[in-house]
Structure 1
């Protein structure tokens, strides 16, 4: 998934623009993403469908520039071990200190599959190839204007009350800006049952800075809560802190996941 695009937008023709695409990233046995960026190894199961909708607001601490994203994802279980999904974001990016000056529209959509290729007791492995589509308007800073393939390897461990996930991902960041094209990312997350229908989530992660002039890689941390009214419905809230070079951003968001 497109985890963060702060650095791309900050160095675009709208130098002040920044944004975040958070699928931001759900029961503990099959955590589906938001508010985490870390993917788990859970799949939907044959013929099951999940719809996710999340809303996030990001703020740069120094400039107070803001960005909003609304992301919708539909996932279908092709088999008991293979999911296919489509995700599309809508973005609104402030482009100056004037809150009335912004760019908004559809961002870059993505198609991905997740294959849980190994499970032995509490341990599992999954692969998630992804293709990001150039559906956003690059002239407005809403897209990359190029196809970007990538993939994520997932290691999962699921206990009775605690689940752990670790990710290692690669994206070919094809672009016209002179940015790095080989981008890696890694993250680790914990999901813990706090009560009968309430889970707490936390993660740490980092990714390679796409700015070829910088040797400092962005790092982020996320915390959140997920409420499970039923086995078919999850509601979540989350907070993320991101350090990018000398700039600090934070984002807050909420999401809903419905399964059939």
Structure 2
């Protein structure tokens, strides 16, 4: 359970870029060296095995070049169990770099590389470094955006886990100047070696933009496959500030 929740941090924190609560990484960058972005994100998950966990995530992002961003992520997690003592503390910090390789009119292609460091409290973090790679393809169609993410996570070095791979399909649209609505579908191999079912979930979310420097986000996550190792549903909220 603890390792599974930590992997959830990997998938959530890496996504918490401009369009948290969506899991699919976007292709936006800060656009120039030295520009900064701060995010504080929250997630609550209720699991099929009766447990639950809450994640509080701080992410700091800096522009390196017009097409490259570098970020560090600091999560704090709290777990509640029906049959044993609760656990809370710092989870594994991570660092990632995002690079947009191609930008032609309404089409963008990029990648993101994440290293999850072994910095978490004993019993909460992975206990070993874990690595993740995303490839993002994004297409703008009028006021809407379609996004495809393929990802691979190297986690088999952690006991009871396996390497994970899968994809996200994500679409969002700008309904008004201050509001973006979207949804996504995730399909992946589950991280726990003993789990046979695929990890499939949907997420719907909204991002409110009161101005160019602030985003306020809300999201609802729901698993489409039932297994004791999966989260049943989740609630997400976030605040982003650009400088």
Taking the aligned partners of 2:189 and 2:46, their CA distance within structure 1 comes to: 21
Equivalent residue, structure 1, for 2:218: 237
- Equivalent residues in 2 for 1:110-259 (5 A)? 110-138=94-122, 140=123, 142-180=124-162, 182-243=163-224, 245-247=226-228, 249-259=232-242
Determine which of 36, 46, 62 is the counterpart of 2:22. Answer: 36
Taking the aligned partners of 1:176 and 1:234, their CA distance within structure 2 comes to: 35
Equivalent residue, structure 1, for 2:80: 94
Taking the aligned partners of 1:52 and 1:189, their CA distance within structure 2 comes to: 21
Aligned residues: 238
Q: Contact 1:24–1:36 (CA<8 Å) still a contact in 2?
A: no
In structure 2, runs of 5+ residues without a counterpart are none
TM-score scaled by length of structure 1:
0.84
Equivalent residue, structure 1, for 2:39: 52
Taking the aligned partners of 2:6 and 2:109, their CA distance within structure 1 comes to: 34
Determine which of 56, 70, 75 is the counterpart of 1:70. Answer: 56
Offset, 1:62: 6.1
Taking the aligned partners of 1:213 and 1:60, their CA distance within structure 2 comes to: 17
- Equivalent residues in 2 for 1:12-27 (5 A)? 20-21=8-9, 22-23=12-13, 25=15
Offset, 1:7: 8.2
Provide, for residues 193-250 of structure 1, a one-character-per-residue CA deviation record: whole Å limited to 9, x for no partner: 1222111011000221122233311111100111000000000100001245534510
Offset, 1:96: 2.5
Structure 1 stretches of 4+ with a deviation exceeding 4 A read none
Equivalent residue, structure 2, for 1:12: none
TM-score scaled by length of structure 2:
0.90
Q: Contact 2:2–2:125 (CA<8 Å) still a contact in 1?
A: no
